[in-house]
Each structure stands twice: as C-alpha cells, then as structure tokens.
Structure 1
Amino acid sequence: MTRTAGAGAAVTPRLIRKETRGDLPMLVCLAVLVLVVTALCAWAPALAGRQEDRALRQRVDAAQAHVPLISLSTTAEVFNTDPPAVDMATLLGSGRTLAEHLGGPAAHRLTYAGGGSYDYNQASLTSPLPPGPADTSTKLAISYLPSARTHLRYVSGHAPADRTPLGTAPQIGLSQATARALGVRSGSRLTLEFTRTPEVQSAPPRAVLLVSGIYRTVATADGFWTGRETLDQPLRYPQERSAGTVLAVRGLVGLDAADLLAGAGVAGPRVTWEMRADLSGAALDQARALTGPLSRYSADLSAALCLGGDWITGDISCQVGGQATGSLLVADSLTPLLAAFTAQDHQARALAAFAVDALAAVGLATSAVAVRLLLRRRQAHLRLQRARGASTARLVLLRCAVAWPVVLIAALLGWAAGRALAPTGASGSPQPVPAALAAAVVALTVPLMTWLAVREPRRPGRLRRSRRNITVGRRVVLESTVLLAATAGVVALRSQGPDGILGAVPVLVALAVVLVLLRIYPLVLRVVLRQARRGRGAVGFIGAARAAHDAPATGLALFVLVLTLGTAVFGGLVQRTISDGLATGAAWSTGADASAVAAGTVPPAGTTTTAPGTPTATGIRTALQHLHSLDLVGQADGAVISSVAVITVDPRQLAAIAPKSPLAHALLSGLATAPGTLTGPSATLPSFLSPGLRASEHTGGFTSTVLAHGQPRVSLIIEPAGTLTAAELRDPLLGPVTALIPAGTPMLITTAGAEDLMPQQSSGSTVLLLKGDSPATAGPAALRSAAAGALGPLARISVRSQTLSALRADGLTQGIGTIYTAASILAALSGLLALALELTLTSHERGRTTSYLRTLGLGGKEAGAVHFLQLLPLAVASAMGGTLLGLLEPRLMAGTLDLRQFTGGPAQPALRTDYSLTLALAAGVTALILAAAATETVLARRRRLGAVLRLT
C-alpha cells in the first residue's frame, strides 16, 4: 500500500486541535468523570474526618458529664508541727501547673477545672452514738468537694467555711438523711477517731467537727452525683468479724479542714485534681496526639517533681506547689475511650470502603464505556488513517495527545474544587494518591483501548480454529481467575475482618455475578429462541436473536448496572439494619419507656400502697429490680462461687409493663410461689439461674449466709426453678440492671419477697422501670418526674425516646448513612451515564436491524416490539443481578459486619433487607432501560424512507 502525503507526519498542535473538535462530546464526558472523582478524593476524606471528630466529641462529652476522663491524685504529707506543715490552698491550686507537665501541644488539650478536692478515709464516729440499737458503729468519711456547692441547697445552717476562725473546730455539712440517721442537727458536734500512723503515733488521733448546716441534693442532668450517692444517703452493712451493723455516712468540709486536722495529727488526705479533655476542631487527631504523652505522664511527673524513695519505707517523696506529697498517680480514662472509638471507627471505615470502592469501580467502568464510544464514533476516521499508512503507535500517540491534556486539566480542576469545598480543621485530609491513581487509570484506558481498536489483525487461514480455541481458553482462564479471586477475598474477609485492601471484595463479587449472568442468560435466550421458532410471528424470534447476539457486547453496561444496584441495595440493608437495631439498643438501655438507677437499696416513695403493676395516680406503671452480690456455696460439692449477682423482682410487675416479654412469662410461671415466711434460721428462694451458674452445680442448689439490717443471720437456700435461655438473657427488661453487672458474672433472679433478707451493700443498686399507659404519661417530662419522685433526685434517669434520638444523632451512624446515600446517588448517575453511552454505542446495530425489517414490510408497532425485546434481557439481568448482589454480599460478610457497635444491645442485630427500596431500585433500572427502548422506537418511527435505506 502506498502512503499518502502526511500519513506519517508528526503529531502537530494543529492536528491535535482538529482531532479534539471531532472528539469533543466524549472528551467532555471523560473530563466530567475525572473532575468528579478527583474532587471527591479531595473533599470526601475531610468531610468524613469532620464526622469522625463530631462522633468522638459526642462520646467524650457524654463520658465527661459523669466522671472526669483524666485525674491526678496524691497523698499530702502531714507533720505534727505548729503550724502544721501543709498549706492545702496552695496544694489544691497547683493543678494547672501539673497539667503543664504533660508537655507540648498536648497540654493545651487538657482543661483544668478550678481547684482540686481531697478526701479522708472513713473514721470512727465516737460521739454521738448511733440513735438506734440496730447500728453498732458509725463510720464517717469527709471530703472537700467545691464542685458540689452548685448541686445542693442548705435547708438549715450554712455551708462549711473555708476559713475557720482561729481556735474553733472544723465545720462539716451533712445531708438531711445523714443527719436524721445520726440524730444530729446544725450546731451539733461530732467526735472522730482517725487511724493512727504506724511507728509514728502511739494512739489514734481525735478531732471534733462542728455541723454547720444540713443540705438537700438538687437533681442535675450532668451526672455529677454518679458515684457520689453516699453524700446524700447513708449506707448500712454487716460488721466484719462480729455481730452488728455499720452505719456509713459522708459529709462535706471546708478548705482549711485539712490544715486544722493536720494540727491534730491526722494523716494527710488523698488530694485529687480533675481535668477535662478539650477536643475542639480535629478531635480525632488531637486525641491520638494525647495518648502518647498520657502514657508517659505519670513517669514525667515523677521525674520532674519527685526526688526518690525513702530507703526504709520505700515511699516516694514529691513536691507539688512547694508542699510535700506522696507519689503522683494518673487515672486515664481517655485512652480506653479512644480505643473503643477506634474499633467502632474502623468498622465504619470498612463499611464506607465497600461503598467507595464500588463507586470508584462504577466510575472507571463508565470512563471505559466513554472511551469505547469515542473510538467507535471515530472508527471510520481511524480506518482511513490506517489505510493511508499511519502506524499503530502514531494513532495511539495521537489519541493520547488529544485525551491526556483534557484528563490532566480536569484532574487539577477537580482537585482544586474539592480542596476549596473541603471543611478545614478536621482530622481527615485530602488524599492525593487515590486522585492521581484514578486520573492515571482513566488516562491509560485511552491508549490501551485505542491499541486494541487499531492494531493489525492477524492473517486469516489455517490458524483460525486454533486462535478461536486460544480465545476461548483465555476467557475461561480469566473468568476462573475472577471467581477464585472473589472466593479468596470473601474467605479472607470473613477470617481477617475488613481492611483497606479487602474493601474491594464486593467489586470482585459483583464482577463474578456479572460473569455468571453473562454465562447464564444467553442460555436462557437460546431456550426462548427455540420456543420463538415454533411461533408464527417473527418479532419474538428476531428480538431474542438480537439480544443473544448483543449479550457479550453489553457486559460492561451489565457490570455497571449490577454493581450500582447492588451497592444501593447493600446500603439500604445496612441502614435498615442499623435503624431497627437502634430501636432495639434503646429498648435494651432503658428496659421500658424509661428507667431510673440509684445506688443502694432504695424503697421507692409512694409505691407501698399500690398493687404490683398497678398504674400510679399519674398513669405510669412501674417495676422494681434490686441488685445484690452474694457468695454462694454449692450444696453438692461445697464449691464457693464468689460475687454472684442476685436480682430480686416481682414477676407480676414485669408482666404488667411488658406483657409479651419472654422473661416476664418465664418468671411469672416459675416464681409464682413466693418464698415462705421466715420461721427459722433458713429460707428457701426459688430462682432462675444463668447458664454458667447452673453449669457449676448440675444436681443441687446453693446456700448463702446473710445478715440483713436489724435481723439475725439467715441461711438462704437457692432452689433452681429454671435456667435463663439466651432469649431471656437478651430481654430488654434486664438491660438496665445487667449494665451494672461486669461481663461474665454469674447471675440469678429471684422474687421480690427475698428483699427483706438481703443485706444492704455498697455494690447494691436499685432499678426502676417505668411505662406510661397513654401518650401523655409516656412523655419524657412525665416519666422523669415520676422516676425522680420514686427514687429521689440522685437517680440516673434514661428515657427510651431520648436515648433513641441520641443514638440516631451519633456521628458515626449518620456518617454511614450519608456515605451510602451519596455513593448510591453518584453511582446511579454514573451508571445512568454508562447505560446511555452503552446504548448509544449499540444503537446503530439495532437501528440497522429495524431498518432492514421495515424495508421487508415490518410495521411500526412490530419494530417497537423488537426494540423492547432486544433490551428486555439486559433490564431483567441487571435487576436480578443487582438485587442478588445486594442481598448476597452482607450474608457472605456477616461475620465481619459488627453493626452492634453502632446500635448497642446485647447481640448483633439481625440483617434486615429494605424490600421496598430493593423493589423500587430494581423497577427503576428496568424502567430506565425500557424507557431507552421506547426512545429509540420513537426516533425510529420518525425516520423517513431515505434514512431507513441509508441505514440498510
């Protein structure tokens, strides 16, 4: 072949501009795809980081509302000198200096909340004596707690003075319940006997305190009273090693009480400084930056403030604010909180990776369709250039010279736009590597597909059959590789859990599903063809034949549609599962419409005159649960089981607030007979046991010796009435009370009649479940008022509706929903574009077929039917494949989808398919393809005879 002039000329700017004008529609399409992908790489990570920061701040704020996340404590060194060798005001004011020792930027993330506090161990109250014969001794613990002043109100007298006049006794404030239990009032004097310091004091030091005022607590929503309930309510427990009951109380003193007690020789108090974590802005990055310094904080403080240990006692001597103290201890609750959040965030990132990888695959597949259509539109031009002598390399270079600048400019513009829209000050940052990789893949698609389109075909001949065998073999190898890779990915995902690499497994599974569909639905079409041959009309046969002929060519469009639909179905399943799981988690957290938890055994006010389960005057039903801890002894083998959680309930109350509860039904039938009246030294308690406790004693029951307040010792005989099943252990009625029990603790449930036999313990708790009988009584305000009236202002109250709202507002939960919604919308738009391009790519062949048939006398309606029949298999295969993929993926990865971290509750939430969304998506894909067929039919009808003849 003779080359024409200019066939081998260089690629000039003029030639590039000429080619660009011809490729302009497809280049615009490529530019939009690259721009969107690179913009997402710059914008989405920052947005996700801001959502993670918000979620972490929510958890930190919720935790700090109850207890400080970071605290420092030490023991003040006290010497019996005059004046005493301690200046408590200076010592307590040194907290800010201690925070600065954290070092570097981390110190700015800790906020020191005012002055510190101090506490003394329990001292014996020698005067006045307990007013009743039931209490044989009294223990009084005193504390200086300045933050308590805004949480209580004095009803008699005044708060303890921080500056006591010289020569007067330290002042103390007591709660109304404590003053009543001690039989004192404002102006009374308390004589305390403290523990002596070994080898320093020969006798226990004594001190006299003046009761300056009586206070009552004020209910607050900040969780201040959590763990401080003894400031309001006294506690009674059996005397160790002797008969009798100890009355344990606690009071508040002023700032200089430690100075005055030091003059009396009382050993130094435990001093505590509380600090708050201030995670504003990039909270996740700041928290991670804190963990390292916090792990070394105690050692750094010791190195900076401590001189070494006493060679006799081994005690470390430190100097804080010029005051001698013991060693400094750091209590860090932020690091465990961050570890738990990191695990949840890792799961959220894994779920997000499935959607992001699917979106990336859809975008790249769409770009491949766009390049393919570009080359098809220029096919005649490429053939002409090839016939004039242009080499394959020159044609590939020319296409690259046209497309690569467009891709580069679109990538830069997309990156700039994404950076401009990305939120600043968040933990997430733009990802340039994925953006560059996506742009490079799109850019390399152009030369690869151009080379495949313009390369010189091999000479036909005797090797045609072997070439066909080689092609079939390559296809078999390729499909087998994809299937094996998808299987290996699923196995690795189930065994190792999700990570950055295994996030692409759903894409491999989608590709495997498409390959299976491409193998199956041509076989189905052949069956349809056999049936169509037997019919009289030619429309069905022709439509099925064309669909079978076009099946391999529509593989890329089928992949895009299946992956897009599968991702949307998968996202709908995840969001539906989380949404239903949130309701279950809220029900588990509160047990009923609301719950209230109080420390100790608290008899609810106003419930003694109502029958079990009967609604109160406010129309609210209540059920009471008391939690105790006992040591049990097996009757058969005598083995001791320590710290068994004992829950006392009235089954009728539980059945009244939850009639359909499996736990209430089991307890109502198994504990119908209440324990008999105590007539001797023992009492039998029918009980339901946890599986672990029942397994430790297969044949008999258990015994335990207890000493209740004001009663002689009693031997309890635990008689098993049944074993709690898994469904009963997961019953929401047990949620609030089991939250107070450490994981793995043996547990038993017995009737409320055993409550009078149980001793009051420091580890005991009271749980009140509340259920409103009408919408008015089920409101948060009514439930909170009823709970506070029953258990007092210090009860921790949770309302199910408010808990559910808080769970739904969680940053990670909302982030997952946002990612899947956005990814599904973008994938749908990309899939729509790919479908439009693919149909445009194959429309010429369908138009030619229709034109041939029209010249042979086929009518307009029959031509439209052929259009529908040609595209109907693609629509059905896409809808079925996408739905199958969306339903199959979460089941294949069920072991790795730990959605309980987002929902709460005792068990992994069951996967729930959003069938309405699935049907809507499948119908939408089918309608979209059929709408394209209708459009082509309308266009075909408008062609005149000349256009029809030209197509033929």
Structure 2
Amino acid sequence: MSRTTGQGATGRAAVTRRLIREESRGDLPMLACLAVLVLVLTALCAWAPVLAGRQEDRALRQRVDAAQAQAPLISLSTTPEVFTTSPPSMDMATLLTAGRTLTEHLDGSAARHLSLTGGSYDYDPASLLSPRPPGQASTSVQLTVSHLPSAQAHLRYVSGHAPADRTPLTTPPQIGLSQATARALGVRAGSRLSVEFPKTPGAQNAAPDAELVVSGVYRTTAAANGFWTGRETLDQPARYPAERSAGTVLAVRGLVGRDAADLLAGAGVGGPRVTWQMRADLSGAALDRARALTGPLSHYGADLSAALCQGSDWVTGDIACQVGGQSTQSLLVTDSLTPLLTAFTAQDRQARALATYAVDALAAVALATVAVAVRLLLRRRQPHLRLQRARGASTARLVLLRCAVAWPVVLIAALLGWAAGRSLAPAGTSGSPQPLPAVLTTATVLLTVPLMTWLAVREPRRPGRLRRTRRRTAVGRRAVLELTVLLTTAAGVLALRAQGPDGILGAVPVLVALSVVLILLRVYPLVLRLVLRRTRRGRGVVGFVGAARAAHDAPATGLALFVLVLTLGTAVFGGLVQRTVDDGLATGAAWTTGADASATVAGTVTPAGTTAGGTRTALQRLRTLDLAGQADGAVVSQVAVITVDARQLAAVAPKSPLAGALSAGLTTPPGGRVDASVPLPSFLSPDLRARERTGGFTTTVVTQGQPPVNLTLKPVGTLTAADLHDPLLGPVTAQLPPGTPLLITVADAEHLLPEQAAGSTVLLLKGDGPQALRSAAAKALGPLARIRVRSETLSTLRADGLTQGLGMIYTAGSILAALSGLLALALELTLTAQERGRTTSFLRTLGLGAREAGAIHFLQLLPLAVASAVGGTLLGLLEPRLMQQTLDLRQFTGGPAEPALHTDYSLTLALVAGVTALILAAAATETVLARRRRLGAVLRLS
C-alpha cells in the first residue's frame, strides 16, 4: 500500500515537473519580457543612484572650487603674545610653519581632507606720522601692515623689490606699496615711513613708534578668480570721514616680509593677527567628504583649546595657548564650508524631489508593462488553464504552477540585473546602490503573477437571479474605487503644496496620472457613443462598426491608456522643467551681470579714459546714507543710494522698463549744475516710500573744510516689483542685505555726495565679444575690478552638475519610460488583436473589402491615440501648475525670483505626434497582416 502511495506521489511529481517544462517552453516569449523588465529595473536601482551621486559630487566641487578661488573656506587665527619675554620677541617663521600641525587635532578622517595653503598676518591700522601726504595737510593717514604671500603672484614691481623675508635685526622692516598708494603718500622706493602703532592695553602706557622703509612699488595684475575681492586697498587707497574730528582719513595698506613682525616686536609693537588658510580637498566622493568635515569642524575650536590652551594670559586675561612654542591668545576657527554645504543641500534636495517625479513615473510605467505582460501570458495559456481546471486542478495548484514557472526567471533576472548595475556603476562617488527599491520591485513582480493568475482561474460565480444585483454591485465598487483614487490624489496634491516634496509624496504625479486616466475612461466612451449615434444614421458600415468596436474596447484598453498618458505626461513635464530652467538660467545670468558685462570695484571710482566706440557703458555708484523724513523727521538708517545716468542706462538696455521709467522721471534743469538748493529727483523702493508718503527725505553731507550741507531728495516715482527685479540692478543689489531700503537718484549729484570706502562702483557694458568687454572693463576700472561677462556666466550656470544631472535624469527617464510604454502598447494591442481580427474577418466573409477592413482597424485604434495625446498633454501641463509652490526652480537659475513656467511646445507636439503615429502604425500593421490571410483563415477567425 505504501509502495503504491509512494509511486503515485513520485508520478505526480514527475507529471508536475513535465508540466512546468512544457509551460516554460510555451511561455518563453512572455517570460523573456518579464526577465528583461526586472533586469533593467534592478540594474537601475544599483547603477542610477551611484551615477546621480557622481553628479552631486561634481556640482559640490564646482561650488567649493569657485568659493576657494576667492577666499579660504576654513581658516584659523590667533594673536601671538610678544610681551611674555624681556625684551619682547617672537619667531614668526616658526609660528607660521606650526600651522601645519593644527590639522592634527581634527578627527583622522577629517584631517586627511584639509591641507594648509599658507599663513599671513595683519596689524591693526597704525597712524602715519611722516611723511605727510602732499596737498592734504589736515588729512590723517591710517596704514595697515600685512604679510600676504599669496598676493605675490598677482603683483609686478615697477621699482625696487619685494620686501625681504629675512633682514638684519639692525635694519627697519621693509614694506611694499602700490603705485596709487605711493603717489598718495608722496613716497618712492627707499623712502622711510614713521608710524605709530596702537598700544597694547595692560602692557604699555604709550603707543609704540616704528620706522618702515619702502623696498619697492608694485602694480597689481588682474586675477580672474576674484582674488582681489575684499583686498582692493592693497592697490587703491580709500578715504572716509573721520569719526571724532573734522576732516577725512586716508586708509592705505602695504605688504611686508615674513620677519617684519619679529623686528616690530623688538620695537615694542604688539603681536599681529595671524591667520592660517586651509583648503578642503573634496576630490572623489565630495559630498561624503564634506559631511565628514562639517562634524569635526563644529567642535574644532573646542578641541584646539583643550589641546593647546591652558590658564590665562597675564596681560589680556584671555586664554593662553601655545602654538609652535609661541604664546598666543585663543584660537578662532572660521568655517565657511558648513554654510556652503547647507545651501547646496537645499538645492540638492530640490533636485532630488524633481528627479523623484521622473523615477516614480518610470517605475509605474514599468510595473504597468509587467501587468500587461502577465495578462497576455495568462491569455495565451487560457485554453490550457481551462483544460486543467476541467480535469480537476484546484485554484491553488494552478497558481503555484504559474509561480513555479515565472518566479525562478524573475529571481534570476533580478540577481543578474543587480550584478550588472553594480559592475557598471562608477566607483568613488557619494552615491550608493539602493537594494530596498530593487527588492520591492522584484517582490511586486513576483506577487503580480499569482494575483493575476488567481483572478483568471478562480471559481466563476453561479449565474442566476442575482446577476443584475451583482452587476450593480460591480458598478458601485468601481465608482467607490474611482472616488477613492480621486480623493487620494486631491489629498496628495494638497499635502505636496503644504509641506513640500518628500519620498512618499513623490508618487503624487502617478496618482494624478491615474486620476486623469479614470476621467478619460469615463468621458471618451461617452464621446464615442455620441459618434456612434451619428454614424448609425449614415449609409456606410465602416464608421459605425469602427466606432462601435472602439466604444466596446474602451474599458479593456485602460491599462494601455494609463501607460501612454503617464509616459507622455512625464515627458511633457520634463520638457517643461528643462525649458523653464534653461530660460531661468538666461535670466539669472542677466541678473548677475546686469548687461552684456559688468565690472565692480569698491569705493566711488571714476572710470579712466573712454571705452571703444562699439561699446556702450553705464555707471552706477552705490553709497549707504542715513535719511530723515522731510515731514516727520523720522530717521531711516542704512539706505542704499544709487546714482545713475538714465540716458546711459537706456543706451545699454534700450528695452528695459526700468531704464525707461528712470529716463522719464530723473530729469534735471537743462544747462545748469545741480547744487544743494535743488531737490534731487529720486525713485524709492516700496518699503522706503511707505515710511514717507507725503514728502521727501533730507540728508546732511559733511565735506572737509566746508560747512555741512543739507540735501533734499524728492520722490518722483516708486520702484515696482518688476523694476526691483530688473537685471540693471542685479550687480548692485547683490551687494546689499535683503530688505535694504533703496533710493535711485541722478548722477549729477555725485559732487554733492561724500566718498565712502564701503560703497562700490558698477560699470555696465554693452558690446560684442567677451574679450573686448573684459578689456574695456579693465581699462575703465583697473585690474582689481571684478568682471563678469553674461555669456561666460551663462555657460558656467549651464555646466552646473545639479542642472545637468536633472536634465540627464529626465531625458533618460523619458526614454526608458517610452521604451517600456512601447512594449506595453505592443503587448496590449497583441492582447486585443484577436477580437479586432475576429470582427474584421466576420465582416470580410460578408463581403467587406480589404480597404474598408483597413479603415475599420484605424477607426478602432484612433480614439485610443486621441485620448492618449489629450490625456498626456493635459497631465504634463497640469502637474507643474498643481505643484508650482514646491517647484523651487530658482535654486538652479540664480535669478531674483522664481522663473515662470515655460512649456516646450515643440517637444509637446513632437511627443503627441509620435504617440499618435505609433498607434496608427500598429493599426497599419494589423491591416497588412489581415490582408495576407487567406479565405480559410478568415473563416476560422470568424
């Protein structure tokens, strides 16, 4: 008995294995389709995040390199104590060299990412006792002594030589001055300067004197990396009013050698402020390295104090530290890398959110394609399933049999795809493969097979009197399901607009696409029925049959419609984002440069000479003044006052609304010079205008040797939001803190306004050729001017890693989604081809011609093409408007305001034409195949 039972079990197992082999051979095309889909999806889960990480690393390196070209992102500073010995002394060479050891107090991994680029020191401004500047008897001179080795690469000595780093103890320290500074002081190479340095509180009762010898006079050279930003006084002296006495102060700066601090210490001068500059090395995985640095940098100062400092200094009472054997005050860490990384993280988060839309759409299209493939696989095996069902096979056995056939193929494809993605992924990036999405994708495909198999082979319900009730129940369930989807979509859109994109809400566009498809499935059958009523009255049978078959097949094509609508909508959405960003980049470049080019220097500078005949210029000078309301006397402090020549602005930007408004409003009496008795016409920012609605403003100007002069600023207009966002103001307002009140007045008032070291001069240029614009700007404002050319700025913005990465994701996602959608469409048309073929074959047996049969094929598929084109276009245009508050594209453009959404209509038309042509090509293919059937095949189908 047991032997018989065992033989029976063995026989059933053998039969099952044989059935699996036969099923596998019969299902080979569909299994191959499933395997390709799973392989591609899992490979993308392993490869795409690593590639995206490489783009993020590239974008962060671009920002860090640009910032470090202008100034170090990380620096350490301290003040050495020179009065700890008698006589006072210090060893600056040892102290500067000791800076290399300061990185050792970072965590091991962080220390490897920082390198010391050099050290420098600066003294507090000293008073120049002699010689007195020529022609300025009542002007005091403040001389700042600095040791800045990095400046030597941007200087050329026209007389004398650079200050020596090693000089005999018996000689005075050497100092190098710029040509403009030497001219303002009336000195040359070999001249001696007598200066008085500030006294050290607690250690000195009188200010120490010292003597410096001018070793050489240099001329600055242009630096394309912005080296001179903030260091303009090394070339041009600055003048500003004295705070506690009448007159002006002439502020100059000179360069000294390394051992000047040792010589000055011997003369009793207190220690300078020593600074060590550090460079962050973010090669390779830049984002990971930056994150590894920011943690240790947050407590770097505390770690240095714990390791190098103890007790307190007897002179200042500050913490006493030891650096390279030299007593110093406490160490200060300046970290500009962390704010830069914070700003980049916000941009990167927005880029990831935008990329999530494309990724989710691709996943939805691929999974829909999987469902179509499984559905077609089951349709092909339907006769076999019915036969097995009739022979007594249970639902569970049939489901397990399909799983036994499909699951090994899916699992092997998933493993191969993951391995292929890992092997193709670039190494050394901040991105990493994502196994969880790969597992979820594979699990979804694995569960799709038994679920759809169960729906196909489950026990049919008994027919009877409750059929009508069941039909009503099915209709009610469909209505509830559709209403649930619509409500979920609305809730998702509201949540997305309220809290912004995240990992879960990134699927909202897919829900929007599903809602659009549900609405189409409800609407376009109604349209077809209306068409059917009209065609029923006609004489021809082609239109009626085509419309009837299209209306009958409309519910069955829902999955294909979803795939096409989502694919087309995602492509339209991606084209809109890329077009908006590209247009926004042009606006951002124009805002940054103001015109074809701009040059900016500190202080109120008069351009030297004239520019070439083909180049037009406009000068803007920025000052900060305190104004008082003419009616109520209320003081408005720190108002940005810009002087412009409206005619020059109109010549540089003839189409600018701001230039037109200023030309009409900023008018002065012809033929006369503007003086203090004439109110100055002015345009005010809205916040400033709100503080003084009835009158103007006044300000007091104090000029050396003259009595104070009261100026009146008369409002003639208010700047609108569009005026404040005009590119002409970009280079100026970029220097102002947000919310600064703004006033624009005429350039004829320049001689009435005081000079300010804190102000700036902006020259706007219009002409052809970047080199010609740079040459003209440097000639007008000197080599220290920071020059920006719009074409070069636009190229830099377009080369940004985040912008390029976003475009690459949408392009690749749209291509892959289109390929998957094409496969889904082909499978869906194959699935429904038999029904269409049976209809046309039946009509052909009744005498319908081949041409009319082909027309029926076209008419059956034409509504699907129209619905897909309309739904996809509507989805692509609707999604950005629904989520406009979360699409902060200003992160990528650099403009003053959020760029307006611009639809790429050429791309939209091309996509619609492509989808329509694809469906009509399928109809043409079916027509050709139908014409090749012989009469026997036609009769069998009918």
The equivalent residue for 1:324 is 327
Unaligned runs of 5+ in 2: 1-7
Map of 1:167 onto structure 2: 170
Residues in 2 aligned to 1:144 and 1:132: alpha-carbon distance in whole angstroms: 30
Shift of the 371–7 alpha-carbon distance from structure 1 to 2, 3 Å rule, reads farther
Q: Secondary structure at the residue paired with 1:12?
A: helix
CA contact (8 A) 1:80 1:264 kept: no
* Per-residue deviation, 1:711: 5.1
Instruction: Tell me how far apart the structure 1 counterparts of residues 613 and 26 of structure 2 sit (CA, whole Å).
Output: 80
Q: Which of 924, 927, 934 is residue 944 of structure 1 equivalent to?
A: 934
* Counterpart residue identity of residue 66, structure 1: Q
Give runs of aligned pairs for residues 99-498 of structure 1, distance below 5 A: 99-114=103-118, 116-133=119-136, 135-309=138-312, 314-498=317-501
Q: In the alignment, what sits opposite 1:574? A: 577
Q: Provide the residue aligned with 2:825 in structure 1.
A: 835
Q: Which residue, out of 700, 707, 715, partners 2:702?
A: 707
1:195 CA displacement:
1.3
Q: Equivalents in 2 of 1:311, 1:673: separation in Å? A: 64
The alpha-carbon deviation at position 465 of structure 1 amounts to 1.7
Deviations 1:850-898 (A, max 9, x none): 0110111111111111111111110100000000000000000000101
Of stretches 173-182 and 236-245 in structure 1, the one that deviates more from structure 2 is 236-245
In structure 2, what residue type is equivalent to 1:504? A
CA contact under 8 A between 2:674 and 2:749: conserved in structure 1?
Answer: no
The answer to whether the 8 Å contact 1:11/1:398 transfers is: no
Aligned to 1:933: 923
Q: Does structure 2 retain, via aligned residues, the 8 Å contact 1:355–1:820?
A: yes
Structure 1 length as normaliser, TM-score?
0.96
The letter of the residue matching 2:904 is D
> Aligned letter for 2:92?
M
Deviations 1:616-657 (A, max 9, x none): 434111111111110111122222111111111100000001
Conserved? CA contact 1:134–1:245, under 8 Å: no
For residue 893 of structure 1, what is the aligned residue in structure 2? 883
| Residues 114-152 of structure 1 deviation map (CA, whole Å, 9 limit, x = unaligned) | 3x1000011110111121136521111100111111110
- Secondary structure of the corresponding residue to residue 71 of structure 1: strand
Cα 1:681–1:806 shift into 2, 3 Å: closer
Structure 1 vs Structure 2 CA RMSD:
1.7
Instruction: Decide whether aligned partners of structure 1 residues 328 and 677 sit closer, same or farther in structure 2, where only a CA change above 3 A counts.
Output: farther
Contact 1:596 1:796 in 2 (8 A): yes
The match for 1:849 among 836, 839, 855 is 839
1:756 to 751, 758, 773: 751
Q: Indicate yes or no: 2:37 matched with 1:47.
A: no
Q: Is 1:77 aligned with 2:81?
A: yes
CA separation in 1, counterparts of 2:51 and 2:608?
50
Q: Unpaired runs of 5+ in structure 1? A: 608-615, 773-777
Residue 3 of structure 2 corresponds to none
- Equivalent-residue separation in structure 2 for 1:676 and 1:704 (angstroms): 25
SS at 1:934's partner residue? helix
Q: Select 2:28's aligned residue among 24, 30, 37.
A: 24
Q: 2:803 matched to which residue of 1?
A: 813
The residue type paired with residue 921 of structure 2 is A
Per-residue deviation, 1:163 = 1.2
The one-letter code of the counterpart of 1:632 is: L
Q: How far does the alpha carbon of each residue in 1:211-254 deviate from its partner, in whole angstroms, 9 at most, with x for none? A: 11111101121221111000000011111122111111000111
The code of the aligned residue for 1:883 comes to T
Structure 1 position 313, deviation (Å): 5.2
8 A Cα contact 1:355 1:567, kept in partner = yes
Task: Work out the CA distance in 1 between the residues paired with 2:864 and 2:380.
Answer: 23
Counterpart pick for 1:771 among 762, 766, 770:
766
- Cα 1:386–1:922 shift into 2, 3 Å: same
Choose which of 12, 15, 21 in structure 1 pairs with 2:16: 12
Code of the aligned partner of 1:19? E
Q: Does 1:37 align with 2:78?
A: no
Rounded Cα–Cα distance in structure 1 between residues aligned with 2:635 and 2:115: 47
Counterpart CA distance in 2 for 1:99 and 1:269 is 22
Q: Is the 8 A contact 1:73 1:270 kept in 2?
A: yes
Give, as a single letter, the amino acid of the residue that structure 2 aligns with 1:345: D
Q: Partner residue of 2:5?
A: none
3-state SS in 2 of match to 1:812:
helix
The percentage of aligned residue pairs carrying the same residue is 80
Matched AA of 1:763: A
Change (3 A) 1:96 1:231: same
Q: Is the 8 A contact 2:836 2:857 kept in 1?
A: yes
SS of the residue corresponding to residue 913 of structure 1 reads coil
Q: State the distance in 2 between where 1:904 and 1:697 align.
A: 33
Does the 8 A contact of 2:667 with 2:681 survive in 1?
Answer: no
Task: Name the CA distance, whole Å, in 1 between partners of 2:862 and 2:751.
Answer: 75
Question: Alignment partner of 1:208: what SS?
Answer: strand
Q: Deviations over 1:567-608 (max 9, x none)?
A: 00000000111111111111111111110011111111114x
Give me the whole-angstrom Cα distance separating, in 2, the residues matched to 1:600 and 1:706.
17
Aligned-pair CA distance for 1:515: 0.1
Q: Which stretch shifts more, 48-57 or 681-690?
A: 681-690
Contact 1:80 1:265 (C-alpha < 8 Å) held by counterparts: no
Amino acid at match of 1:319: Q
AA matched with 1:765: S
**Alpha carbons of structure 1 residues 679 and 933: separation in structure 2 relative to 1, 3 Å:** closer
Given that residues 134 and 710 in structure 1 are in contact (C-alpha distance below 8 angstroms), is that contact kept between their aligned partners in structure 2?
A: no
**Alpha-carbon separation, structure 1, partners of 2:613 and 2:674:** 38
Whole-Å separation in 1 of the counterparts to 2:99 and 2:752: 47
C-alpha contact (below 8 Å) 2:674/2:748 kept by paired residues = no
Comparing 703-712 with 265-274, which one deviates more in the overlay? 703-712
In the alignment, does 2:739 pair up with 1:744? Answer: yes
What is the SS of the residue equivalent to 2:592? helix
Q: Shift of residue 681 of structure 1?
A: 6.1
> What is the deviation of 1:264?
1.4
1:823 to 785, 801, 813: 813
| Distance of 2:668 and 2:675 partners within structure 1 | 19
> How far did 1:684 drift?
2.5
- Report if aligned partners of 2:284, 2:428 keep a CA contact under 8 Å in 1: yes
Report the equivalent of 1:612.
Answer: none
Out of 681-690 and 348-357, give the one that drifted further. Answer: 681-690
- Which amino acid is 2:641 matched to? V
Partner Cα distance (1:398, 1:35) in 2: 23
SS in 2 for 1:172: strand
Matches within 5 A, 1:521-536: 521-536=524-539
Partners in 2 of 1:133 and 1:141 — Cα distance? 19
1:111 to partner: Cα distance = 1.6
SS in 1 for 2:274: strand
Over 3 Å counting, the alpha-carbon distance change for 1:541 and 1:617 in structure 2 is same
- Counterpart residue identity of residue 879, structure 1: A
Equivalent of 1:668 in 658, 663, 671? 663
Between Structure 1 and Structure 2, how many residues are aligned?
935
**SS state at 1:93 partner:** helix
Amino acid at match of 1:439: T
Letter paired with 1:191 = S
1:709 CA drift (Å): 6.0
Spell out, residue by residue over 1:749-782, the C-alpha distance to the aligned partner (whole angstroms, 9 max, x if none): 111111112222221111001111xxxxx11111
